[in-house]
Structures are given as structure tokens and as C-alpha cells.
Amino acid sequence: MKGLGATGGAGLAYGAMSTLGLAPSTAAPARTFQPLAAGDLIGKVKGSHSVVVLGGGPAGLCSAFELQKAGYTVTVLEARTRPGGRVWTARGGTEETDLSGETQKCTFSEGHFYNVGATRIPQSHITLDYCRELGVEIQGFGNQNANTFVNYQSGTSLSGQSVTYRAAKADTFGYMSELLKKATDQGALDQVLSREDKDALSEFLSDFGDLSDDGRYLGSSRRGYDSEPGAGLNFGTEKKPFAMQEVIRSGIGRNFSFDFGYDQAMMMFTPVGGMDRIYYAFQDRIGTDNIVFGAEVTSMKNVSEGVTVEYTAGGSKKSITADYAICTIPPHLVGRLQNNLPGDVLTALKAAKPSSSGKLGIEYSRRWWETEDRIYGGASNTDKDISQIMFPYDHYNSDRGVVVAYYSSGKRQEAFESLTHRQRLAKAIAEGSEIHGEKYTRDISSSFSGSWRRTKYSESAWANWAGSGGSHGGAATPEYEKLLEPVDKIYFAGDHLSNAIAWQHGALTSARDVVTHIHERVAQEA
């Protein structure tokens, strides 16, 4: 299968052998996605073929959905009692016992929720095409907000102060423009810039930095007002800029590049009502008859007739044999299954290192962030352990809402991981109130937290490939490449086998590649 994806993805690779002729034409423009539609991935299979899918997260459900369209008999075995895997939405009624044995019951008000795992979708991701195909309604997700705060420690007077993004940007861009204009005017860049370049650059900088006629940054309405301008002679009171040195040394600009990162730049989207809506929609299309929930796989073996999988469900041991298996169980958990995988595959699976991430949601009975801080969605960022505070993208202007009081990863998440929920809440409130003030501690109705290292059937937020420098994909290690190959009739799929680790897009495209590969093999063997 190596190299398959590189030829242009599932549709192209299989195009030639589509029995229905519905595969996308190879003449499609390179830069655009082919929107999915029923049957467009692969043609119908001839004869009867079965596939058992291990795991009912994005990779598993997408595999099952596409295989069914192509005429395969599919059974999904999912250990949890819900679809979606790391796409998990906590709402009133959600109950979870973590690996430390602590049970939390979520008591958020009707209609309120937060996504403990996946929460946002960039425009380029195939996830949006599946939303279209499955009829899952989407809405804008606030991934950038001029009114949220940055709050960092530094050796300046801004240390530990909450500064709005709008002020931080206006000052940073203002001084940056002033400095570059000054250097240019002084001839410091004459080796690289012609007269004409300098004029054009200067014009850009004046606008971008909101500079005065003599090229200085003296503050800007972009920073906002201490009192809002209104009618008549109420001109508002513009906030004063910070000093250049403070702006540079305080590091308040450290997160700006997030705003135009490839997969975080606005516009961003999310399903109305929670990310898990996508996987309930997959479930409906696949049919609950074809998904066994509460089915914990314990064994997976290549046998002469195909693949035999053993699992426990409802307290009893069961077994299923199918022509092929797609294993979407997180890689670091696969080795725990009884198996007859070769040693090099088991070694390769160990190279996918588990990582820490988690969130805590607080339901407030008052949307103080809107009425007092004028923040409607988006996130405040900090170098405290909480890392960020994410404001709800739903129920705007209503009387209550769920704030994600932390979404942290790595070391900062480890500071929460070993705590009980009550301790996590206390720490989250203590840190959050240093950013949004004393009101952060009041009007709390309830809360719910999740730590992925401590969550059964995940035990990790996402995989870091040993030797890849902890990147989210794009660096194929030998172990990664190894797992792209099937082991006889067993295929591996999941976001860990993609260049979009920690994104549903990675899991979905991985599933599509594997489905295409199986189908191609079946066609060749026929």
C-alpha cells in the first residue's frame, strides 16, 4: 500500500476499476477536494465479502460506511457504548469511570455540552465533506477573537496582566511596522530593497501598523476603548498603547501565528450540537445491527479463512471470523491483544508513543464573558497550566453556558492528570480567575473533566511517532511505513497513520485508503 496515497488518494487509485463508473475523474483539478457522494469512492464488489472493523471511532465508522456502500458485509466491534472514540461530547447524562477508578456524572443543563476530544474542523478537511454527505449541520467555530485575553509571565510590567488580543496585535504590529519602516528609511535594507520596493513596503506598513504621518506608532482605535463610543459627543476613550519595550519583551505576540496556521486559520467549523453528531450519523447509516457496542476485543489473529477476532460483550466471550479485518484500536493498545502479529509489527506499534491532553468544562449560570468581557466565543491564552480558556460557540446571549476551563497537552496536562476531578476544578478556577477575575469563581453550576491518558480504550490523546520529532504527521518513520502495509488480512487505520495526526481528517483519509486497498485486492483476486 506504500505510495498509494501519494498517487492522489483513494478515489484516484481505484478510479479505473470502479464497476459503476462513479469514481472521480482523473481530470479533476488538483487543488480541490472531490466532494464525497454515495458510491463515489469505489464501485460495487462482486460476490460476498466480509470485513470486521475493530473500533467505532472515526476511522472505524468511516471504513464501515464506505465498505457497505461497496457491497461488503461489515461488523464493527466497539468497546465503548457510544460511537466516535476520541470524538466525545460531554452533556447531561454522560457518565465515565476513568482508569484511576473515579466516576464522574455530567449534569450540564439540557442542550449544553462541550467536546472533550475533537472540537473544530478546518475548511480543507474531508470531515466537512462527510458532514455534507451525512446531513450533519455545521456552524462557525470561534477560533480567533480580538476580545479574548493573553496573559503570560514575563520580566515586564505586563507580566500576569490580561491583555486583549486586539490590543496585543495593534501594539505588536504597530511597533513592528514602525521599526521596519525606520530601518528601511535609514537605508539599512538597500541591498535587498529597491526604491520602488521601499515605497510599496512603506505604504503597506503605514496601514498595517496604523502609523502616524511621520511613521510612528502612537496607539490605535484597533486596541479598543475604555468606554465604548456612542452617540452625540461620546467619542469613547481609546485605550493607551503599551511601551515598545514592554510589547517586545512581554511576549504577548507569541500566539499570533496560530491565527494563520494551516489548519487553525478562520473560518473554522463544528457540527451544531457537538462533534459526536457526525458519528451518530455514521451509526445511523451503517445500522446498529452492524455495530456491536460494549464489545471489547481481546484477540485478533490471521487464520486460513481470514481473520478471527475474539471479544467480550455483555459478560460473555464471542468470536467472529471475516475475510479481512481493519484494526483502528489505538496503536499502543494493539500489542495487548492476543495476536499472531510478526515481531517487527509489534515493534513498530510500540513506536507510536501515547501523549497527554485533557479538558475541563464548567457550566456557568451566567454568561459573564459576554455581558462583562464582551467575549463571544474564541479562547484566552496563557502560560499557566490551563493553557487556554475556550468560550462556548453555542447558546450565545442566553442565560448559561459551558466554558472549557482548560485544554492543555503534554507537561501542562500532566499537572492535571493525576488530580481528582475536584482538585482539577479548584486548580482551573484558581488559574482562570487570575485571567478573567473574581467573577470566574462565581455562578458555577457543575463541571466535568476528561484526561485522555486516564480514559479507558484510549489511554492517549494522540500518537507521537518515535523519531519524528513529535510532529503531527508529515514525517514517515520506518515504523510508520511498516504499519501502512497489511499483515496478511489485517489492516491498520487511524489518524496515527496519516499526516493529520490529532485530526479526524487523518482518521477518515486513512480509512478511505485502507478501504480502497482492500477493494483493489478483492478485485484482483476475483
Ligand X SMILES: Cc1cc2nc3c(=O)[nH]c(=O)nc-3n(C[C@H](O)[C@H](O)[C@H](O)COP(=O)(O)OP(=O)(O)OC[C@H]3O[C@@H](n4cnc5c(N)ncnc54)[C@H](O)[C@@H]3O)c2cc1C
Binding positions for its own copies, 9-28, rule CB under 8 A: 9
CB 163 within 8 A of CB 436: no
Residue 265, all three cell numbers: 486559520
Q: Nearest 5°: CA angle at 40, between 37 and 42?
A: 145
| Site residues (CB under 8 A) for its own copies, limited to 161-180 | 166, 169-170, 172-173, 176, 179-180
Query: In whole angstroms, how close is the CB of 27 to ligand X at the nearest point?
Result: 30
CB 65 within 8 A of CB 285: yes
Partner that binds at residue 520, options its own copies, ligand X, none, CB closer than 5 to 8 Å by kind: none
Q: Which one of residues 5, 9, 43, 85 is an interface residue with ligand X (CB under 6 A)?
A: 85
Question: Would you count residue 476 as binding its own copies (CB under 8 A)?
Answer: yes
Question: Cα separation of 462 and 485, whole Å?
Answer: 21
Query: In whole angstroms, how close is the CB of 426 to ligand X at the nearest point?
Result: 21
Contact mark string toward its own copies, 109..148, x via CB under 8 A: --------------xx-x-x--xx----xxxxxx-xxxx-
Partner that binds at residue 484, options ligand X, its own copies, none, CB closer than 5 to 8 Å by kind: its own copies
| Site residues (CB under 8 A) for its own copies, limited to 27-66 | 29-33, 35
**Residue 221, amino acid:** S
Of the two residues 180 and 463, which places its CB atom closer to ligand X in the complex?
A: 463
Of the two residues 251 and 392, which places its CB atom closer to ligand X in the complex?
A: 392
Partner that binds at residue 315, options its own copies, ligand X, none, CB closer than 5 to 8 Å by kind: none
CB 179 within 8 A of CB 205: no
Is the omega angle on the peptide bond into residue 176 within 30 degrees of 0, that is, cis? no
| Site residues (CB under 8 A) for its own copies, limited to 389-428 | 393, 396-397
Of the two residues 22 and 146, which places its CB atom closer to ligand X in the complex?
A: 146
Query: In whole angstroms, how close is the CB of 339 to ligand X at the nearest point?
Result: 12
Question: Cα separation of 410 and 299, whole Å?
Answer: 31
Question: Would you count residue 478 as binding its own copies (CB under 8 A)?
Answer: no
**Residue 409, amino acid:** S
Question: Would you count residue 59 as binding ligand X (CB under 6 A)?
Answer: yes
Residues 6+ apart with CB under 8 A from 103: 95, 96, 97
Of the two residues 121 and 487, which places its CB atom closer to ligand X in the complex?
A: 121
| Site residues (CB under 8 A) for its own copies, limited to 141-160 | 141-142, 144-147
Contact mark string toward ligand X, 302..341, x via CB under 6 A: --------------------------xxx--x--------
Q: Which one of residues 58, 209, 306, 401 is an interface residue with ligand X (CB under 6 A)?
A: 58
Query: In whole angstroms, how close is the CB of 100 to its own copies at the nearest point?
Result: 34
Nearest to 515 by CA among 79, 43, 56, 136: 43
CB 295 within 8 A of CB 77: yes
Of the two residues 53 and 428, which places its CB atom closer to its own copies in the complex?
A: 53
Residues 6+ apart with CB under 8 A from 311: 77, 292, 295, 296, 297, 298, 299, 317, 318, 319, 320
Question: Cα separation of 8 and 33, whole Å?
Answer: 10
| Site residues (CB under 6 A) for ligand X, limited to 245-304 | 295-297
How distant, in Å, are the alpha carbons of 82, 96, 98, 347, 476 from that of 457? Answer: 12, 12, 10, 20, 25
Query: In whole angstroms, how close is the CB of 443 to ligand X at the nearest point?
Result: 26
Residues 6+ apart with CB under 8 A from 95: 103, 104, 105, 106
How many of the chain's residues bind its own copies (CB under 8 A)? 117
| Site residues (CB under 8 A) for its own copies, limited to 198-257 | 200-201, 203-204, 207-208, 210, 221-237, 244-245, 248-249, 251, 253-254, 256-257
Query: In whole angstroms, how close is the CB of 76 to ligand X at the nearest point?
Result: 9
| Site residues (CB under 8 A) for its own copies, limited to 430-469 | none
Angle of helix 195-209 relative to helix 165-185, nearest 10 degrees?
Answer: 160
Partner that binds at residue 117, options its own copies, ligand X, none, CB closer than 5 to 8 Å by kind: ligand X
| Site residues (CB under 6 A) for ligand X, limited to 338-367 | 357
Residues 6+ apart with CB under 8 A from 261: none
Cα Rg, the chain, nearest whole Å = 26
DSSP helix/strand/coil, 185 = helix
Question: Cα separation of 256 and 266, whole Å?
Answer: 13
Question: Cα separation of 228 and 512, whole Å?
Answer: 52
DSSP helix/strand/coil, 137 = coil
Candidate segments 9-17, 36-44, 49-57, 512-520, binder of ligand X by CB under 6 A = 49-57
Q: Number of C-alpha atoms within 13 angstroms, CB side, residue 474?
A: 6
Interacting residue ranges for ligand X, rule: CB under 6 A: 54-60, 77-80, 85-87, 117-121, 127, 295-297, 328-330, 333, 357, 452, 457-458, 461-462, 494-495, 502-504, 506-507
